[in-house]
């Protein structure tokens, strides 16, 4: 039979763990940039202010209730020889009213700013000054179409995973999904909003600090969407109005088809392999054209064009790649092209290109020369 003394060290260890765990986990918080507690725009600030208000009131209530509880446990503890039942308060109308009315008053006081905040945060941005961006969630990347900005070929500006917005401007994201439910979340700028296939949801972003630390603002898909969900990131770059306009002009410029050197060899591989899923807008002697496969999505009865994989026209200008997960360096790119699934969990063996179902970039068995040439091509497309 186990004696009581055998169990005690276990219990002590368990209590030690329960006490130590929150302290140890608190160390993980650090100064993570992906936080809603360090907002960089008015919508993020509205959410943060509400959080602070609720936190302060909840802390006061917690301290009063727990303090009262501990005091009662200590003050009215069972004493030796005292076997009387404590005085019962059941049915005391005054007390029942008191502890019903106090929470009602607290919740009513909190309800007003919270409901007002919900309406503010959920309002769809309207007006001539609003930047319109169509967001399409994919397994596992984000497609951004700036419908207000159209190139010489009549096609709107399309980019992936890195969203550029001007400071102090309302940006209306009109969102849908090409496959499963995702959720768009950039904690410093706004709350989460689901991105649902066959439906349209909206989210307003406003950022007011182009020189913010930890910029670009990181975000994360917040709805489990399969294998690479945890890697489905997003970055939001905030620019001054002038810098944003420069970026738009640059993005609307088509890529040049290289005619000699490594980049030209790379383009040969690119047009034979990559364009099965990726898109690029190129300019050559025949004029401007789109290269690559797209599919048409039916979103709430509206036909939308969507690409199977990110647009690469300005790949060289991006800071990151693979859903904004890896810094866009030569080494990372070489590793990625050698076998993408080594860097990001995907299921390319289940790709069904004909039906627009893409679950990742396959390993095309590229030679070292082909990889070098492709890097030369992509780095040149700035």
Q: Which is nearer to ligand CUA, 192 or 295 (CB)?
A: 192
Residue number with CB closer to ligand CUA (141 or 146): 141
Task: Point out which residues bind ligand CUA (CB under 6 A).
Answer: 137, 140, 182, 221, 223-225, 229, 232
Residue 277 CA, chain-centre distance (Å), reads 23
CB of 232 to ligand CUA, least distance (A): 4
169 vs 347 by CB, closer to ligand CUA: 347
DSSP 279: B
CA 374 – CA 382 distance, rounded (Å): 14
Nearest distance from C-beta of residue 179 to ligand CUA, angstroms: 9
Q: Which is nearer to ligand CUA, 143 or 167 (CB)?
A: 143
In the bound state with ligand CUA, the residue whose beta carbon lies nearer, of 46 and 159, is: 159
CB 141 → ligand CUA: shortest distance, Å?
A: 9
Query: Smallest distance, Å, CB 204 to ligand CUA?
Result: 20
Contact 257, 267 (CB under 8 A): yes
Q: Which two tokens stand for residue 250?
A: 């640059």
> In sequence order, what are the beta bridge partners of 53?
none
Nearer CB in complex with ligand CUA: 227/276: 227
Query: Shortest approach of ligand CUA to residue 138 CB, angstroms?
Result: 8
3-state secondary structure (DSSP) of residue 204: strand
User: Which of 125, 358 has the CB closer to ligand CUA?
Assistant: 358
- Say if CB 186 and CB 234 are below 8 A apart: yes
- Residue 283's contacts (CB-CB under 8 Å, 6 or more residues apart) are 254, 255, 256, 257, 289
CA distance 337 to 20: 44
Closest CB to ligand CUA among residues 193, 229: 229
Shortest Cβ 135–ligand CUA spacing (Å): 12
Tokens, residue 201: 């949801």
The minimum distance between CB 140 and ligand CUA, in angstroms, equals: 6
Cα separation, 275 vs 270, whole angstroms: 6
The C-alpha angle 246, 146, 167, rounded to 5 degrees, equals: 55
> Closest separation between CB of residue 192 and ligand CUA, Å?
11
Q: For residue 294, with 0-12 CB atoms within 10 Å meaning exposed, 13-18 middle and 19 or more buried, which class applies? A: middle
Give dist(CA 46, CA 332) in Å, integer: 39
Closer to ligand CUA at the Cβ: 142 or 149?
A: 142
Secondary structure element (H or E) that encloses residue 281, with its range: strand 280-284
96 to 68, 89, 90, 162: CA distances (angstroms) = 17, 9, 9, 56
Q: Please report how close the Cβ of residue 376 comes to ligand CUA at its closest, in angstroms.
A: 32
């Amino acid at each position: 039979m186990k004696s009581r003394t055998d169990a005690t060290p276990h219990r002590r260890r368990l209590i030690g763990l329960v006490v130590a765990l929150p302290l140890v986990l608190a160390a993980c918080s650090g100064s993570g940039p992906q936080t809603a507690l360090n907002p960089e725009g008015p919508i993020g600030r509205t959410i943060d202010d509400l959080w602070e208000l609720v936190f302060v009131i909840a802390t006061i209530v917690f301290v009063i209730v727990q303090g009262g509880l501990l005091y009662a446990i200590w003050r009215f503890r069972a004493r030796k020889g005292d076997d009387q039942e404590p005085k019962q308060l059941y049915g005391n109308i005054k007390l029942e009213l008191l502890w019903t009315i106090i929470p009602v008053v607290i919740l009513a006081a909190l309800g007003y700013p919270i409901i007002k905040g919900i309406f503010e945060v959920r309002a769809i941005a309207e007006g001539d000054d609003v930047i319109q961006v169509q967001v399409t969630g994919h397994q596992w990347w984000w497609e951004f179409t700036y419908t207000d900005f159209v190139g010489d070929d009549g096609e709107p500006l399309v980019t992936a995973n890195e969203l550029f917005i001007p400071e102090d401007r309302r940006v209306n994201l009109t969102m849908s999904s090409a496959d499963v439910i995702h959720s768009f979340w950039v904690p410093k700028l706004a709350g989460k909003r689901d991105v649902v296939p066959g439906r349209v949801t909206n989210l307003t972003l406003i950022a007011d600090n182009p020189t913010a630390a930890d910029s670009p603002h990181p975000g994360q898909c917040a709805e489990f969407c399969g294998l690479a969900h945890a890697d489905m990131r997003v970055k939001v770059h905030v620019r001054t109005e002038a810098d944003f306009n420069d970026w738009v002009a640059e993005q609307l410029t088509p890529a040049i088809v290289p005619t000699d050197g490594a980049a030209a060899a790379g383009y040969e591989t690119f047009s034979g392999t990559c364009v099965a899923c990726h898109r690029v807008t190129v300019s050559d002697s025949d004029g401007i054209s789109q290269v690559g496969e797209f599919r048409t999505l039916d979103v709430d009865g509206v036909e939308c064009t969507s690409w199977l994989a990110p647009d690469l026209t300005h790949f060289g200008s991006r800071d990151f790649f693979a859903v904004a997960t890896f810094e866009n360096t030569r080494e990372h790119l070489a590793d990625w092209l050698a076998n993408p699934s080594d860097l990001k969990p995907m299921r390319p063996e289940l790709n069904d290109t004909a039906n627009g179902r893409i679950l990742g970039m396959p390993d095309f068995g590229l030679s070292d020369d082909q990889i070098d040439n492709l890097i030369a091509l992509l780095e040149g497309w700035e």
